Amino acid sequence: MDFELSEDQRAFAETARQFALAELAPHAAEWDAQAIFPRDAIAKAGELGFCGLYAPESAGGLALPRLDATLVFEQMAAVDPSTTAFITIHNMATWMLGTWATPAVREHWGPLLTSGRKLASYCLTEPGAGSDAAALKTRAERDGDHYVIHGGKAFISGAGATDVLVLMARTGAGGAGGISAFVVPADAPGIHYGKKEEKMGWNSQPTRQISFDGVRVPADHLLGQEGEGFRIAMKGLDGGRINIATCSVGAAQGALRHAQRYLHERKQFGQPLASFQALQFKLADMATELVAARQMVRLAAAKLDAGAPDASTYCAMAKRFATDAGFAVINDALQLHGGYGYIREYPLERLLRDARVHQILEGTNEIMRVIIARRLLQDAPLDGLTD
């Protein structure tokens, strides 16, 4: 496996870094403190193609490999994990629409979403169906040339501030096989948004419950075929897990950079902190964990790009490891800052709060362990782990 990045990949990463420094870094703390959703900044990301990185070209996207997308997301997350995480969710929903929507729906929404002029939310989780997503109860009943939707969703990123919803709803019997996927305009009659949740982190993006009361959507707003929704959702989540893992890697990289600078600047007992071997060892361990997480994420992305049969398992492993390791690196960086790490003058406490939820969403890390163990116990091939 070639671990070196190509010239094009390095150029994408550098463009993302410059964008993050110019458009995210000066405002990230304010967006967090005042719970501001930065649509203008996201639109500027769209102008660079960052809102449709791996969406198909037929929808206006760049159709990049997932590996290349991780390079962009990591650079932005090093500055602002919250806003970057929303952009990754928008990318996932846009890819799903661009891949499975009917030509008419794709032609209307695709260019709007990939350009960042309009934004998308992904609606899978329900109050009673989190880790057990196949138990969702929101229903879509066929009524002539429309579907009529009743039910509710919870913890929806961007809800109330986005323009279109990629929604999973039940069109058939119980279980995964009865779920279908839909494109729903976010302002359709019968959609009601709950209060904006007050959260520990991710404050630059709103999170709300959504209720659907007789919402009518045209039949051609179905993604794929009836009964394919759960399969589409899981395909989306493979990439979503890589995205969130990448956001943890990026946040940890940002925290490590702050820690490196601080150890040179701060003096105790007449010498810089960087001269203390115990702190040098801590920094070395943080860097090692970060590099290991980054390589696991990139391996999973390469597996997904190649369509490998064990790609889903690698995505689960990467998500589990990178979000745990990333949070630990950020926590260690905060500790190295002492009391300064705990106050908002420094970005460490914001990076820590934003990264904590990565261990929960896109499937909790406990569920990631279930996915990994299930494949191992089925004695299914897994590169490097087979006899």
Known catalytic residues are 362
DSSP-assigned states of every residue in 3-60? -SPPHHHHHHHHHHHHHIIIIITTTHHHHHHHT---HHHHHHHHHTTTTSSSS-GGGT
Q: What angle do CA 319, 72, 63 make, to 5 degrees?
A: 90
Type and span of the H or E element at 384: none
Rounded to the nearest angstrom, the gap between the alpha carbon of residue 111 and the centroid of all alpha carbons in its chain is: 21
Coil, strand or helix at 292: helix
E strand or H helix at 175? none
Q: Is 280 helix (H, G, I), strand (E, B) or coil?
A: helix
Kindly tell me the burial class for residue 9, based on how many C-beta atoms sit within 10 Å of its own C-beta (0-12, 13-18, 19 or more).
Answer: middle
| Main-chain phi, psi angles of 330, to 5 degrees | -65, -40
Q: Is 264 left (phi over 0), alpha (psi -120 to 50) or beta?
A: alpha
DSSP-derived secondary structure for 94-130: HHHHHHHS-HHHHHHHHHHHHTTSS-EEEE--BTTBS
Please state, in angstroms and rounded to a whole number, the distance separating the CA atoms of residues 87 and 76: 10
Phi, psi (deg, nearest 5) at residue 163: -110, -20
| Interior/surface letters 97-135, b for 16+ CB within 10 angstroms, e for the rest | bbbbbbeebbebbbebbbbbebbbbbbbbbeebbeebbe
CA distance 320 to 316: 6
Alpha helix locations (H) across the chain?
Answer: 7-19, 28-34, 39-47, 66-77, 81-100, 103-114, 229-265, 277-306, 311-336, 348-356, 365-377
CA 209 to chain centre: 18
